[in-house]
Chains A and B, each alone.
Chain A
């Protein structure tokens, strides 16, 4: 969740920065184009003025022919001559009669014949060049003529031509470069933040250890500090809750012990038929004798009561174990060298009676192996797994406690395992059965829904994960804890 939104944040930031930078840049380009155009316009006006000033000179340059009927001669005034020479091929002129007949110059240099003697300006396209043409009608030595001057060096035209090269291209390049720079620098500037987000995202929900502030980049250090503060508060809260559960479970045990002792005694008496009092075995057992308010309970009722009491006691014990086994609070340095085979044998002895009572074949397949761990936690782990297996396996089934070595990442690692041939757990439920108080839908049995979660918590306290699978022949459930040597780097070496 966090990652896409962070990506969205950076791209959002990029877009905003681009917009904020490119819009003013664009306005700047427009403004400079306008200023440029203004100056080009001024220059054009001056050009027109010059053409206007030169026109009379051109008119004066026409010298009437000495012999009538022939073409007039052209004696160019120095100013006009200079203009024509200097601007080279981009200048031209024409002299024609008022009827449009060309006398001198280039034919294309013309506009509509002016009706008055005022100078007129036109734009004429010739040879791919747009010329500014000034046309004036006036009296000359050779009579009334129309003189025209063309200038191809029109700044406005040039401005239009150069607009692309001189103004737009560099500015567009600048904008593109700015965009790239923003893209790169935002990505770069946000990298520590993205890294931090990734680190937080990849955390286990149980991991509330502070992030190392010293190795965090300076930019995100305040954020890391705030996060650590939050982690501290959450951890304090979680610890408080865990302590509360532990205290509550602990406090429950004293009254439960009294209740259970009473009910157990009644059940014994009921089963034995109250030997001392000579009751018939199956008759009701008077709990309150003779007197007025006698309540009688049958053997089965008492045994139901006992089963419920035992289950409540087990729940209190499991809650206590669960809160004590909390992976965050188990001291890794207090680990010891544990004889797995010994643990398996103890678990077998402990559950032999329960298995026998249910007609289940409880067996052992134990090699002599040792592992580094917490003996009391591993005892609880096996106890819960075996208890679960016996509860969920129907009569006539078998439960096997195993320990040995198996291959993990190229090395032989010790493992503990309990396998049954009961109904098993569907693949899709593997994650759920590790959740507290979850029970696979449709399962019978008197489980509390805490056995596997406790085993999982204990596995975590040993830096390992509980491996669930099906037993031999794809039947039943197999739960395994594989010890990994490298997770115990913090543990004391055995024998210290």
Chain B
């Protein structure tokens, strides 16, 4: 994964770079908006982490610029970093084409989780394949499979159409939880007469199919479900 980090604070940048490199990203770091603009015009990145408070061209302006068609990857998902946390800044950031934001100071594991979610979404838009840990969902062919260690053969998982809908919804939103109401709405496309109990039925069926592969569907009391990797078998 090629990641562009635009951040003028050396401490923050080196910390992020260290953490992201450890998580397997190839990090390119630039310290100013102008430099970032040059790089973005030439090279394509999978994802960008951009600080708002840059000298010269600031993060918001840069986000607007990089959406121009002449840029190498106008569809690049962007996560904005900001020391400002007033609501209007957040809204402004998202209006201008940023996909997510985080307020400084932040916890690295959360940054990693958000980057994963952003990448999953952008991949789904381009390749129609959603992945979560060893689980892969190929939307184009409606095929779910568990991808093992490198070189191992993928194990196919048989899913009914409603199970597919529930899993797809959970996967798109992971690691955020999905509410029962939303799952129910997703299911009503299939069946007008569906009851809330039906969601539980499909979730329990999915559980029996996924848990052996280290993927759990955790119930969130009063809310819904969340897709999680079971630590012991993860990685």
Contacts and interface: CB of A to CB of B under 8 A. Distances in A.
A258 B9 contact: yes
Interface residues of B, number: 36
Contact of B15 (A264, A275, A320): A264
Interface in B1-57: 9-19, 21-23
A363 B22 contact: no
Contacts of A265: 14-19, 22, 108
Interface residues of A, number: 44
Nearest to A309: B105
Contacts of A256: 105
A310 B107 contact: yes
B222 to A, nearest CB: 4
A262 interface: yes
B interface, over-half SS:
mixed
Given A258-B9, A261-B108, A363 B221 contact: yes
Contacts of A310: 107
Contacts of A261: 11-16, 19, 105-106, 108
Given A257-B105, A345-B179, A349-B176, A364 B220 contact: yes
A250 interface: yes
A255 B10 CA distance: 10
A254 B9 contact: yes
Nearest to B84: A250
Nearest to B11: A258
Interface of A: 250, 253-269, 272, 274-276, 309-310, 313, 316-317, 320, 345, 348-349, 352-353, 356, 361-366, 375-376, 398, 400
In order of increasing CB-CB distance, the 7 nearest A-B pairs are A258-B11, A261-B15, A363-B221, A364-B222, A264-B108, A265-B18, A265-B19
29 contacts: A254-B83, A257-B9, A260-B15, A261-B14, A261-B15, A261-B108, A264-B109, A265-B14, A265-B15, A265-B17, A265-B19, A265-B108, A266-B18, A268-B22, A268-B23, A268-B109, A269-B18, A272-B22, A309-B105, A310-B107, A345-B223, A349-B176, A352-B226, A356-B218, A361-B221, A363-B221, A375-B87, A376-B87, A400-B222
Given A261-B16, A263-B15, A353-B110, 16 more contacts: A250-B83, A257-B11, A261-B12, A261-B13, A264-B107, A265-B14, A265-B16, A265-B19, A265-B108, A267-B108, A268-B22, A269-B19, A348-B223, A352-B220, A363-B220, A366-B222
